[in-house]
Amino acid sequence: MTAPVPADVLSRLKAVLGEGGWSDDPERLAPKLVEWRDRWSGTSPFLALPRTVDAVAAVVGICFEAGQPITVQGGNTGLVGGQIPQGEILLSTERLRTVREVEPYDDVLVAEAGVTLSAVHAAAAEVRRRFPLGLASEGSATVGGFVSTNAGGTQVLRYGTTRNLVLGLEAVMPNGEVWNGLKRLRKDNTGYDLKQLLIGGEGTLGVVTAASLKLFPVLASRAVAMLAIETPAEAIRLLARAKEVAGGAIEAFELMGRLGVDFALRNIPGTRDPFDAPHPWYVLVEFASAEQGSAERALEQFLEEAVEAGQVSDAVVAQTETQMKALWGIRENQSPAQKPEGATWKHDVSVPVSQVPAFLAEADAAMRAFVPGCRIAAFGHVGDGNIHYDVLRPDGGSDAEHAARRDEGSHLVHAIVVKLGGSISAEHGLGAMKTAEGARYKSPVELEALKAIRRALDPKRILNPRVLF
């Protein structure tokens, strides 16, 4: 808990924000102090709702002068608690909602921090372009949030993470100065790249106020299939072949275990099993191309070969947009479907793609020995080596007992990840939840360099003080 905000700081903030630009009403603040899984809750005495970049700069400048901590929040869909204040002032970007420009010749879209990912998709579609970041949280997740967490999602295999999709940024630095780096260049090799520090900076090195985002041509053909397979090792072999058959056209390659599919069938109304019988593992594959018919042809060739080689036990190809959505729905609901099942230890880890089967085998053995009867729901972006490895309490077990053993259990999982050359946070960031664990696995040299950068930019540590090193 931080110290109360001095009265003179509050009155200066109210003056620069103006009417409608702030609130201290507990009811207005309440939804911003919890996150969707009810995992994190917080407190804040004051909500700042700036509508312009200048207003953001004024708020941050006043807070810097006073040494007043701030937590920054976009759509509040972050999964590691970084956006939930613990006594700090809460700066929300919800009124920074303008798409400033969409320029198809430069293939760029410039949007303010509070614009949702869905709104970015819609604005790009108006000029027959697309922004290829896919998150199940797209209706709420914002530009500022996905930039600051370097979000990944389902299309990283083809387009890279947010880091690869941002051409420029505008941000308010911790001392309140505005940096206009809204370039739209594909090549700009002029030394250190400040925007790359802010991307994935989790709101610690500046408040992102706008971003220039890279656009791509719309797709003319999409083909989606769900494959039933016996083992994760089969998924890796299929992925290698899919890359050869599809060239650069693999849009997604996702793995799901049966238990997660069972949770979706049980807990997400309207979910249907695409197969007649249960299978141990599933791959959801999407090919997509700007050339008419090409994705369908490539998928057909890939599946024919896989079936002939006995690599898949069964396969379902979506024939309509509705069927594509239904198959994707099973994948996208893997996380929400766990909610009614009780306490879960969630891990968002990555290992080299070739090591995914070894990771799953070792982690399963370690978890079953540590919590006999635990239920393991593993799914994720296997094409990126990114597995969401979730360990749920045994059926009928105690939520409190399971939650109490979370840290110990997660250390075991993370030790296996690190041994296999992986990362303990593949795409969600470290936030408040994993900062200490993240620091354990950084070398002293790297950790000191990162701390030095933060000290230089934010010597009073006012921005998201509980997050990162």
Ligand X SMILES: Cc1cc2nc3c(=O)[nH]c(=O)nc-3n(C[C@H](O)[C@H](O)[C@H](O)COP(=O)(O)OP(=O)(O)OC[C@H]3O[C@@H](n4cnc5c(N)ncnc54)[C@H](O)[C@@H]3O)c2cc1C
Interacting residues with ligand X (CB under 6 A): 36, 72-79, 82-83, 93, 113, 135-137, 140-142, 144-146, 148-149, 151-153, 202-203, 207-208, 335, 427-428, 431, 464, 467
CA distances from residue 411 to 23, 285, 344, 363, 436 in whole angstroms, order as listed: 40, 32, 15, 11, 11
Residue 135 vs 392, nearer CB to ligand X: 135
Residue 128 vs 451, nearer CB to ligand X: 451
Residue 174 vs 257, nearer CB to ligand X: 174
Burial class of 266 by CB neighbour count within 10 A (0 to 12, 13 to 18, 19+): exposed
Residue 36 vs 216, nearer CB to ligand X: 36
CB of 314 to ligand X, least distance (A): 26
Residue 75 vs 176, nearer CB to ligand X: 75
CA 317 to chain centroid, in Å, comes to 28
CA distances from residue 353 to 76, 95, 237, 248, 416 in whole angstroms, order as listed: 30, 40, 10, 17, 15
Residue 153 vs 409, nearer CB to ligand X: 153
CB of 252 to ligand X, least distance (A): 11
CB of 432 to ligand X, least distance (A): 8
- Measure the CA–CA gap between 113 and 96, rounded to whole angstroms: 6
CA distances from residue 160 to 77, 129, 143, 252, 347 in whole angstroms, order as listed: 21, 17, 16, 12, 21
Give the dihedral sign, CA 281/324/354/150. Answer: negative
- Measure the CA–CA gap between 87 and 286, rounded to whole angstroms: 44
Residue 294 vs 425, nearer CB to ligand X: 425
State the DSSP code for 393: P
CB of 79 to ligand X, least distance (A): 5
CB of 116 to ligand X, least distance (A): 8
Task: Enter the tokens of residue 100.
Answer: 């400033």
Residue 355 vs 435, nearer CB to ligand X: 435
Q: Please give the span between the terminal C-alpha atoms of the chain, in angstroms, as a whole number.
A: 18
Helix (H) or strand (E) holding 109: strand 108-112
Residue pair 431/145 in contact (Cβ under 8 Å)? The answer is no
CB of 184 to ligand X, least distance (A): 19
Locus of tokens 């920054």: 72
CB of 251 to ligand X, least distance (A): 14
Residue pair 425/432 in contact (Cβ under 8 Å)? The answer is no
CB of 75 to ligand X, least distance (A): 3
Residue 77 vs 338, nearer CB to ligand X: 77
CB of 8 to ligand X, least distance (A): 26
Helix (DSSP H) and strand (DSSP E) numbers for the chain = 16, 19
- Measure the CA–CA gap between 213 and 255, rounded to whole angstroms: 28
CA 423 to chain centroid, in Å, comes to 15
